[in-house]
Amino acid sequence: MRGFLASSIGVACSAALVLPLSLPSGAVAAVPPAPDLPGSTQSLRLAAIGGKTTNRSFSPAAEQGLTRREVRPFSLVGVVWDDVHAELHGTVQVRTRAAGSGRWSGWQDIETHNEEHGADPGTAEGGSDRVRGSTVPLWVGSSDGVEVRVRAETAETAERVDEGEAAEPAPLPKGLRLELVDPGQEPEPASGSSRAVTYASGKEDVLPALSLAETEAQAGVSRTAALGLMAAAKPYIGPRPRIITRKGWGASESLRERGFVYTKSVKAAFVHHSVTGNSYTCKQAPSVLRGIYRYHVVSSGWRDIGYNFAVDKCGNIYEGRAGGVAKAVLGAHTLGFNTNSMGIAVLGTYSRSTPAPAAVTAIAKLTAWKLGLFGANPRGKVVLKSGGSGKYKKGRKVTFNVISGHRDGFITECPGSRLYSKLGTARSASAKYQGRG
């Protein structure tokens, strides 16, 4: 059972903590301080706002949102709704006020389709009554004011009717709520790679990089003992890269469900972009991760963060879903193909922005090591059985590149065209790190 007690305090009190910004001249709204917790979530129910914008009229049933509000500080924002199977056909836009400067941003789009990142149908996580429909979260930095609008897509804009027919709004999902996530304070600085690490204790914040010889020796142990695989005389495996553990990026373990769920192997890696925007600094990456983690668990109802690993634009690698970085942990990253695979999220949005070379190199190093533990060739192909993805029917056997993009398994733009175009480079580099020439 999740430790929702702490987070629910912020949720339950949110209605009393949201104040309109239409204050008397010179007045300052007193916003109660956030509780002393490792992060918090404000959950605000959206209301019909209607009205006329640009050249199109929207009925109250077709547009919901919140007018400008002063709220407790937050850094990440998203929208959720009651039914995980209901799709939001429309647009979600948000404006935020920067804490300190008081400046309001322009309208920013939030990606509405997040189902493809969820747990597989038929799993305990995917069928949980806690799971909700949700947009992708957006990182906006430290903010204390917000305005949001959700507009239903009409049949006209969706090109579902012939020209001349009346445009009918698609219904918005029920129970729309704005989620404002405060990721909490930064954890203590990660320890240097020279520090001795005993990961089994769960108390260290960094797994240092290992040499090839050290990695091969450790792989022999994990293949026979931890992973139950036969040790190869000379395994094709890359040196283990430096990995910042969950403790290192400040994950609150009381949020996630207890226990872990594993699959038999790791045959493939699916690469994603987090679509949280590129405005973060690498120093802020742990905060972004804590925000995504809290949004996945508290707001979306998942058992843990969906990704197995994350990579920032400086090439730092982070442990994602709990259960052991060397083990086949079942994630919630590529709907229909989470079994026997791992998900790697590059923090940022790469539809129009080119990922940093350091991030691509980190993907190559991580996959060379992790796929090597399970005997997978980064330049090879693999057959996975669909659990039902929207793109492939349940039970269908699908051939993938061992290192694939999210869009290969689901109808989505993820990981963005600019990152997707770099996967060939990552495959070749990963194979070389494994010693495959």
Cα separation of 79 and 295, whole Å?
10
Judging by beta carbons within 10 Å of its beta carbon (0-12, 13-18, 19+), is residue 232 exposed, middle or buried? middle
Check residue 119 and give its pLDDT.
81
Check residue 437 and give its pLDDT.
74
Check residue 239 and give its pLDDT.
97
Per-residue tokens: 39: 């992060």
Check residue 55 and give its pLDDT.
40
Check residue 370 and give its pLDDT.
97
Domain boundaries, the chain: 5-182, 199-433
Cα separation of 386 and 233, whole Å?
33
Three-state SS across the chain?
Answer: CCCCHHHHHHHHCHHHHCEECCCCCCCCCCCCCCCCCCCEEEEEECEECCEEECCEEECCCCEEEEEEEEEEEEEEEEEEECCCCCCCCEEEEEEEEECCCCCECCCEEECCCCHHHCCCCCCCCCCCCCCCEECCCEEEEEEEEEEEEEEECECCCCCCCCCCCCCCECCCCCCCEEEEEECCCCCCCCCCCCCCCCHHHCCCCEECCCCHHHHHHHHHHHHHHHCCCCCCCCCCCCCCCCEECHHHHCCCCCCCCCCCCECCCCCEEEEEECCCCCCCCHHHHHHHHHHHHHHHHHHCCCCCCCCCEEECCCCCEEECCCCCCCCCECCCCCCCCCCCEEEEEECCCCCCCCCCHHHHHHHHHHHHHHHHHCCCCCCCEEEEECCCCCCCCCCCEEEEECEEEHHHCCCCCCCCHHHHCCHHHHHHHHHHHCCCC
What CATH fold (topology level) applies to the domain 5-182?
A: Jelly Rolls (2.60.120)
Q: Are 422 and 355 in contact (CB under 8 A)?
A: yes
Q: Are 320 and 269 in contact (CB under 8 A)?
A: no
Computed on alpha carbons and rounded to an integer, the radius of gyration of the chain in Å comes to 22
Average pLDDT per consecutive 10 residues, the chain (437 residues; last block may be shorter): 36 35 35 55 91 46 91 97 91 96 96 74 84 94 97 64 57 95 75 37 79 86 48 74 96 94 97 94 95 96 97 98 97 93 97 97 98 96 90 93 95 94 98 93
Same fold flag, 5-182 and 199-433: no
Per-residue tokens: 59: 């009925």
Q: Which CATH architecture fits 199-433? A: 3-Layer(aba) Sandwich (3.40)
Whether the link from the prior residue into 415 is cis, omega within 30° of 0, is yes
Check residue 346 and give its pLDDT.
98
Q: The pTM is what?
A: 0.84
